């Protein structure tokens, strides 16, 4: 069995996999990593391997390794490579987040399953939003990054303290500040996805599917043009693929 770990900016997600698929998955806020062994992992069988990605920094890495020490288990921290999992990586390796790399690997596998390997755009929508382009030949062309929905709303609130920017909903034509703010940040992300998709389709000459992951995935996906698929644990799927 393999324990896969994804340490993001605000949350840690984990999954225990057998040769037949996921046995159990869960997640905690980063502030609660110290409770994993007592709460989430207490009744898990000891994994044969532990593999993970970390974009939260050194302190969180040490905390995760401290929890694993009770199993006397080490962890293999994955890092981006020039190629792997059927992908050739055009992004500067020392700047690409390991979570994005894992997501691309998982998306490539899904694309091969769903479309025979067509081009796809991979969106990770969490604390920040990344929009990455993967062509039909498995080349990661590159991608863009922008603040997440909550970060954009906070920026609006700071810049416009007189406006009511919280608690709004996406509307066709907003008529109040809260809805205008909510609609604006979602359309900003959707516009970035649409432009990346259009550029990839023009360069690749093939249909482009979109995979959306992260905490804000279900807020964004309904406003994107099909085909779109929300994948709850795309990073973990990629970690497992790389481990295999």
As a whole number of angstroms, the distance between CA 78 and CA 64 comes to: 14
Mean of the pLDDT values across residues 134-157? 94
Q: What does the pLDDT read at residue 168?
A: 92
Secondary structure string (H, E, C) spanning 60-104: HHHHHHHHHHHHCCCCEECCCCCEECCEEECCCHHHCCHHHHHHH
Q: Note the pLDDT tens digit of each residue in 116-130.
A: 778 999 999 999 999
Q: What does the pLDDT read at residue 17?
A: 96
Q: Where in the chain is the domain with CATH 3.30.420.40?
A: 2-77, 116-233
Mean of the pLDDT values across residues 61-90? 93
Predicted confidence (pLDDT) at residue 23 exceeds the cutoff of 80: yes
Can you give the pTM of this predicted structure? 0.92
Q: Pick from 173, 16, 181, 195: which is nearest to 121 by CA?
A: 195
Predicted confidence (pLDDT) at residue 192 exceeds the cutoff of 90: yes
Q: Which is more confidently placed, 62 or 203?
A: 62
Q: What does the pLDDT read at residue 203?
A: 80
Q: Which CATH class is domain 116-233?
A: alpha beta
Name residues whose C-beta falls within 8 Å of residue 207's C-beta, 6 or more positions apart in sequence: 115, 118, 119, 201, 227
E strand residue ranges, the chain: 2-7, 11-18, 21-29, 49-54, 76-77, 83-84, 87-89, 119-125, 128-134, 139-147, 208-213, 228-230
Q: Sign (positive/negative) of CA torsion 50, 52, 56, 58?
A: positive
Which candidate in 99, 135, 179, 204 is catalytic? Answer: 99
Predicted confidence (pLDDT) at residue 79 exceeds the cutoff of 90: yes
Mean of the pLDDT values across residues 41-63? 94
Predicted confidence (pLDDT) at residue 93 exceeds the cutoff of 90: no
Average pLDDT, the chain: 93
Q: What does the pLDDT read at residue 200?
A: 94
Q: What does the pLDDT read at residue 244?
A: 80
Predicted confidence (pLDDT) at residue 206 exceeds the cutoff of 80: no
Q: Sign (positive/negative) of CA torsion 102, 105, 108, 114?
A: negative
Predicted confidence (pLDDT) at residue 204 exceeds the cutoff of 80: no
β partners of residue 143: 132
In the residue annotation, 99 being an active-site residue is answered as: yes
Predicted confidence (pLDDT) at residue 226 exceeds the cutoff of 90: yes
As a whole number of angstroms, the distance between CA 169 and CA 172 comes to: 10
Q: Note the pLDDT tens digit of each residue in 151-187.
A: 999 999 999 988 888 889 999 999 999 999 999 999 9
CATH number 3.30.420.40 is the correct assignment for the domain at 2-77: yes
């Amino acid at each position: 069995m393999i324990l896969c770990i994804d340490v993001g900016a605000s949350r840690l997600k984990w999954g225990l996999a057998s040769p037949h698929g996921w046995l159990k998955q869960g997640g905690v806020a980063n502030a609660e990593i110290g409770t994993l062994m007592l709460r989430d992992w207490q009744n898990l069988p000891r994994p044969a391997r532990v593999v993970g990605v970390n974009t939260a920094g050194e302190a969180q890495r040490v905390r995760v390794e401290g929890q694993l020490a009770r199993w006397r288990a080490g962890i293999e921290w994955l890092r981006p490579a020039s190629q792997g999992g059927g992908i050739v990586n055009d992004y500067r390796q020392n700047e690409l987040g390991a979570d994005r790399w894992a997501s691309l690997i998982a998306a490539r596998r899904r694309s091969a399953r769903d479309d025979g390997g067509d081009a796809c755009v991979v969106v990770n929508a969490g604390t920040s939003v990344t929009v990455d382009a993967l062509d039909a030949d498995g080349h990661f062309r590159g991608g863009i990054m922008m603040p997440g929905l909550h970060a954009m709303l906070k920026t609006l609130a700071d810049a416009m303290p007189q406006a009511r920017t919280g608690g709004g909903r996406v509307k066709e034509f907003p008529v109040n500040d809260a809805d205008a703010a909510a609609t604006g940040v979602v359309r900003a992300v959707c516009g970035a996805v649409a432009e990346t998709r259009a550029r990839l389709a023009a360069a690749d000459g093939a249909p482009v599917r979109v995979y959306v992951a992260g905490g804000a995935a279900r807020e964004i996906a309904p406003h994107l043009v099909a085909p779109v698929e929300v994948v709850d644990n795309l990073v973990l799927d990629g970690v497992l693929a790389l481990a295999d």
